[in-house]
Amino acid sequence: MTGEAPAPPERVSLLDRVRAVSASHRSVSSIVTMAIVTAVLPLAALVPPFSSFNPQSVWVNSFADAGVFVLLALGLNIVVGLAGLLDLGYAAFFAIGAYTYAYGASPFSGNDFPFWIMLLVGALVAATFGLLLGAPTLRLRGDYLAIVTLGFGEIVPTVFLNADKYTKGTNGISGVYAPGLLNLHFQSTNPWPFYLTMAAIVTVAIIAIFRLQDSRLGRAWMAIREDELAAASNGVNTVSTKLLAFALGASTAGLGGVFVAAKLSFVSPDQFGFTVSFTVLAMVVLGGMGNIWGVGIGAFIVFIIQTVILKELNAALAGTPLAFIDFLQYQYLLYGLALVAMMLLRPEGLFPSARRRRELHVAEETEGEPAPAGAMGGIEP
């Protein structure tokens, strides 16, 4: 099934040309890059040391799961990275997407709508909730918005948990139908169709987000991020612009949710806790806020660290002098240290966007940060 992606060696020789066209043909270059990545990743899994962790099929399964988080990070990047709105409850939209699919195609609801239609429906439903949350709250400044979204992120899974009549509560909805394409029924033991589907979704998302970023809307987002007042006085409708960022970010999470529900064939409230929101935020910041490729790579790295590398440390270090330590127990510690170390070494993220790099440079020259849009410090008794 790898056949449909171009073989890597040919492409490497074309790299310069690809780079040259990429500025004017971003969609094409995105497709080509994603095709290369999609082809190379499964091959990399066959090469030591990666091949010693897991067999290829398990790696491909992990890559498909990682794709979900890449998608989430791309979506959150619209909200946080482009529009500058801090969202700490992003997992809520992920949950809404997943439950939408569970209602759309499971024995629990009795419906069996096709996965591909439900992808759109899930994105739409999540976007609707994004608008519902955003409309009353987007006028809040800076971190007040953060805590409201954090609250929303807690409310949504709690509602799914407690409204057991409609959601089967803590037991979750099981037996959610797998996707199918023509005569191919996706099977839980074969990760390839899921992987390729995810790669396609991510590719479409990347192209769409690039286009958005370069559009009038994208410029409006960045204007709001830099200075909301100035943006407003230059004729940007800040309310609808921010709402659109929220809705588009939410719809991306909705896509991820539909995919996860279909792949796992199961949804339950405890899959969408605040740790998911925080993890995705860490992915965005680590990757380099505002940089679409950077965010994607950051998400991929964090996901693989969390779900593969930390899990295999025990096995990998067996036989070394460190083998007496149960590394599984110290995953929190190692993950926490990795977050702190990476942030200290590279506060602007691994791959800061060009624009951000310029901003930081200017900020350094003027000896101090420009006042952030949400500045509201002050201590009062």
- Quick check: 237 binds other proteins (CB under 8 A)? no
- Quick check: 216 binds other proteins (CB under 8 A)? no
Nearest residue (CB) to other proteins, 38 versus 271: 271
Alpha-helix runs per DSSP H in 113-190: 115-137, 142-162, 164-167
Nearest residue (CB) to other proteins, 121 versus 360: 360
For other proteins, the binding residue among 107, 114, 180, 370 (CB under 8 A) is 107
Interface size with other proteins, residues (CB under 8 A): 125
HSE, CB side, 13 Å, CA atoms: give it for residue 48.
1
Q: Which residues contact 302 (CB under 8 A, 6 or more apart)?
A: 69, 279, 282, 283, 286
- Quick check: 286 binds other proteins (CB under 8 A)? yes
If you search the block for the tokens 């997407």, which residue do you land on?
Answer: 97
Q: Map the footprint of other proteins across residues 317-376, applying CB under 8 A.
A: 317-320, 328-350, 356, 360, 363-364, 368-369, 372, 374-376
DSSP string, 66-128: HHHHHHHHHHHIIIIIIS----S-THHHHHHHHHHHHHHBSTTT--B--HHHHHHHHHHHHHH
Query: Residue 355 is which amino acid?
Result: R
Nearest residue (CB) to other proteins, 212 versus 338: 338
Structure tokens at 206: 């990347």
**Of 22-30, 106-114, 121-129, 211-219: span binding other proteins (CB under 8 A):** 106-114
- Binding mask 288-317 toward other proteins (x if CB under 8 A, else -) reads -x-----------x---xxx-xxxxxxxxx
Nearest residue (CB) to other proteins, 159 versus 204: 159
Q: Map the footprint of other proteins across residues 145-204, applying CB under 8 A.
A: 146-148, 150-152, 154-155, 158-159, 161-162, 164-165, 168-172, 174-175, 177, 187-189, 191
Question: In the chain, how long is the greatest CA-to-CA distance?
Answer: 69
Q: Map the footprint of other proteins across residues 18-47, applying CB under 8 A.
A: none
